[in-house]
Amino acid sequence: MSTIETAATAIQPIEEDAPRRLVWWKALLADRAAAIALIVLLIIVAGSVFAPLIAPHNPFTSSRSVMVPPVWAERGSWEHILGTDGQGRDIFSRILYGTRLTLIIGVVAVGLGGVLGSLLGLLSAFYKSIDPYMMRLMDMLLSFPAILLGLALVAVFGAGAVPVIIALAISTVPDCARIARSIAVGVMEQEFIEAGRAVGLSDGQLFRRYLLRNCISSIMIFISLRFGQVILIGAALSFLGLGASPPTAELGMMAAQGRDYLLFAPHIAVIPSVMIFIIVLAANITGDALRDVLDPRIRN
């Protein structure tokens, strides 16, 4: 076997590192803060998935009890654990359904924007001829804030979850593209890329077997960190009235609806706001822990 063929088969960091990556979840759970954050996220996801089974009341139906305080407040009722809003709707039930919609918006937006942005960034590093044009396109996208994109899409399609998802996905593309490109540029300079070309591997094989596999873990780390930001921006868009329309339950919209009652029923706005805070904090802690576990520059 020639020296080039030996390099093409032996210089593969992903394959050499594979046994160590099989136990990444053990290292993640060894971090107490990360383990707690992950458990909190799993509980939140489970509660949102099984919202129809857990919710004690219909989240869209008004009751006779208007602005009932939570059970821990004075004169709280156990019939409504977290109280009711200004229209008599059970806040606990609406939190469950609102969290589900908020998570769906975040996951879909990060998934679409992350996949598209990462692919564009990898292609930009792989094909040098398109790199200047691709990066200028990313610069243009970065110049449009997510809120401005949301306003433009709402003006065209009307308020709803879909325009918010599109705006968040578009705002995620340039960040993911730049991160993916910066990682891929370093990989493209490695010897095994040149060795693969020398032994006759096609562009598709080089892209899948070497470039993508050596970049995927770092890209996933960034996407996990981006998730919390997308949740926060999506809640802000809904708070401004650009998201789902009433009576649909969504955390940002619920916080906005509670603004008129802050002086005499602050729980209506505070509870969904605290829920957003918990989701974003848990997502950020988990993302930081994943970076510490999966990033080879930190791990080694």
pLDDT per residue as tens, the chain (300 positions): 443 343 333 334 444 444 444 466 676 677 788 889 889 999 999 999 999 999 888 888 887 777 788 877 766 667 888 888 888 899 999 999 999 999 999 999 999 999 999 999 999 988 888 888 888 888 888 887 777 777 787 777 777 888 888 888 988 999 899 999 988 888 888 777 778 777 777 877 888 888 888 888 888 888 888 898 899 988 988 888 888 877 788 999 999 988 888 888 888 999 999 999 999 999 998 888 877 776 655 454
pLDDT the model gives residue 7: 36
Question: In terms of Cα–Cα distance, which of 50, 63, 109, 121 is closest to 89?
Answer: 63
**Phi, psi of 237, deg, nearest 5:** -65, -40
Whole-number Cα distances in Å, 207 to 151, 174, 196, 219: 37, 20, 10, 15
Q: Going from the N-terminus, what domains does the chain have, and what CATH number goes with each?
A: 35-51+68-73+90-299 (1.10.3720.10)
Helices 146-157 and 161-188 pack at an angle, to 10 degrees, of 140
Token code pair at residue 132: 């200047």
168, 234 Cβ separation under 8 angstroms? yes
If DSSP codes are grouped into helix, strand and coil, which group holds residue 115? helix
Distance in angstroms (rounded) separating the CA atoms of residues 264 and 229 = 31
Quick one: tokens of 191?
A: 């010897």
H or E stretch covering 297: helix 296-299
Instruction: Give the residue among 300, 118, 137 at the shortest CA–CA distance from 221.
Output: 118
- Please give the pLDDT value at position 3: 35
Tokens 């770092």 found at: 218
Paired strand residues for 90:
84
pLDDT (tens digit, 9 = 90+) per residue, 279-298? 999 999 888 887 777 665 54
What confidence score (pLDDT) does residue 210 get?
80
CA atoms within 13 A on the CB side of 39: 8
Give the per-residue pLDDT at 80.
82
pTM of the model: 0.83
Residue (of 163, 157, 173, 161) closest to 112 by Cα position: 173
Across 186-206, b (16+ Cβ under 10 Å) vs e yields: ebbebebbebbeeeebeeeeb
Residues in contact with 271: Cβ distance below 8 Å, sequence separation at least 6, in sequence order: 70, 82, 83, 91, 95
Decide if 54 contacts 47 (C-beta within 8 A): yes
* pLDDT value at residue 1: 44
Return the ∠ at Cα 291 (arms to 289 and 294), rounded to 5°. 105
- 84: which strand partners? 90
* Residue keyed to tokens 């603004």: 259
